[in-house]
């Protein structure tokens, strides 16, 4: 029998994940906190994943399984959000996993906060890059940015370094916030994680940060969506995500919320820079045209203040209009790639 009112819905989109799915599901279910639902959304897998999903549902009442024809990761995430019954929602990719002890601590804290009537709109934890190519790991933590172990809002948030943007791996949104913002992730599109974090932010009034390494982000496979060569081939999907982020929020309307507007400008600038970098790595004349078209789209679909803030701020570092400017941008990207090992 399914839980009718769980504290957290953990949603795992599944597609041909037979080699990693058990590790992912076990990491979520092995903690003893009962007030959780795990939703495994099978996106028409062709391997043993559907059978593995069903086996977990048969042995654990906290597990729900949804089987559907293949329609892509975004549609799978949209369905997961629609089906979630929990007060909070966490996405976990099927090749990643959660730290079991950290998850139990987060669940216990959320239970206390909800019981007291002080439930935050956004719970934030650290995440860890687990690099397969050399067996190393790197933790992204936010101790220099957020107050710890108490409710806070954007007034209390300090400066983010370039490697510290909030990602899907670091956040649990209150489910009602996700529904209030009207977010629908674009179908047949990778890299929608950034939309998931970005679009609900204006609806967040309170936050809570725990200095726990909760999410383990498995990175380094040659076929992974964030592998550089794969991202260059799929650059059109990155452009689609960036355009969606340009369209989904009028940042000029947030002038009275300076901290929120500043962070969202920084986030959008970063996404614009990422799009440009992968177009530069492509190097073709077609890619140069797409880069110019994206700048044009930004100018035509934002207010002048927003465009100028991105063009002459962080987002403009990829648009150096002088000889060898593109080579300098790619060189800086290579240095950052070695330092932060983000793909």
At 221, the pLDDT band (50, 70, 90 cuts) reads low
> What pLDDT was estimated at residue 117?
96
pLDDT at 342 over 70: no
> What pLDDT was estimated at residue 161?
85
pLDDT at 220 over 90: no
DSSP code of residue 159: P
Across the chain, what does the average pLDDT equal?
91
Pick the range with the lowest mean pLDDT from 259-263, 267-271, 317-321: 317-321
> What pLDDT was estimated at residue 135?
84
Place of tokens 């058990």: 22
- How many other CB atoms are there within 10 angstroms of residue 202's CB atom? 20
At 1, the pLDDT band (50, 70, 90 cuts) reads very low
At 165, the pLDDT band (50, 70, 90 cuts) reads confident
Cα–Cα distance, 193 to 202 (Å, whole number): 17
Span 104-121, mean pLDDT?
96
Q: What does the domain layout of the chain look like in residue ranges?
A: 8-219, 228-340
Span 237-261, mean pLDDT?
94
pTM assigned to the model: 0.91
Closest listed residue to residue 169, CA positions, set 202, 130, 135? 130
State what percent of residues in the chain have pLDDT above 70. Answer: 93
pLDDT at 2 over 60: no
Cα–Cα distance, 152 to 146 (Å, whole number): 8
pLDDT at 42 over 90: yes
pLDDT at 324 over 90: no
What is the fold of 8-219? Spore Coat Polysaccharide Biosynthesis Protein SpsA; Chain A (3.90.550)
Taken in order 272, 231, 97, 134, the sign of the CA dihedral is negative
Cα–Cα distance, 165 to 168 (Å, whole number): 10
């Amino acid at each position: 029998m399914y839980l009718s009112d769980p504290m957290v819905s953990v949603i795992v989109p599944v597609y041909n994940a037979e080699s990693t799915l058990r590790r992912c599901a076990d990491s979520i279910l092995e903690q003893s906190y009962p007030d959780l639902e795990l939703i495994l959304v099978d996106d028409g897998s062709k391997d043993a994943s559907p059978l593995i999903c069903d086996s977990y549902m048969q042995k654990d009442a906290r597990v729900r399984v949804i089987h559907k024809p293949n329609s892509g990761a975004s549609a799978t995430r949209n369905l997961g959000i629609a089906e979630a019954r929990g007060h909070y929602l966490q996405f976990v990719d099927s090749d990643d996993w959660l730290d079991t002890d950290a998850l139990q601590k987060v669940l216990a804290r959320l239970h206390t906060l909800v019981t007291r009537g002080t439930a935050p709109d956004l719970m934030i934890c650290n995440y860890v890059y687990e690099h397969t190519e050399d067996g190393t790991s790197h933790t992204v933590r936010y101790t220099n940015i957020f107050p710890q172990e108490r409710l806070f809002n954007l007034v209390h948030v300090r400066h983010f370094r370039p490697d510290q943007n909030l990602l899907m791996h670091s956040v649990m949104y209150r489910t009602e916030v996700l529904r209030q913002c009207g977010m629908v992730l674009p179908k047949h599109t990778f890299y929608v994680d950034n939309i998931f974090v970005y679009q609900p932010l204006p609806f967040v009034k309170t936050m809570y940060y725990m200095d726990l390494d909760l999410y383990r982000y498995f990175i380094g496979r040659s076929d992974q969506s964030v592998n550089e060569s794969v991202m260059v081939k799929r650059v059109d999907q990155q452009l689609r995500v960036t355009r969606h982020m340009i369209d989904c929020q009028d940042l000029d309307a947030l002038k009275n919320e300076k901290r929120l507007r500043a962070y969202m400008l920084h986030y959008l600038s970063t996404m614009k820079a990422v799009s440009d970098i992968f177009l530069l790595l492509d190097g073709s004349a077609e890619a140069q045209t797409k880069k110019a078209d994206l700048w044009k789209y930004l100018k035509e679909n934002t207010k002048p203040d927003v465009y100028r803030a991105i063009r002459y701020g962080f987002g403009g570092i990829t648009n150096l209009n002088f000889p060898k400017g593109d080579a300098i941008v790619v060189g800086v990207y290579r240095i950052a790639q070695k330092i932060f090992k983000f793909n």
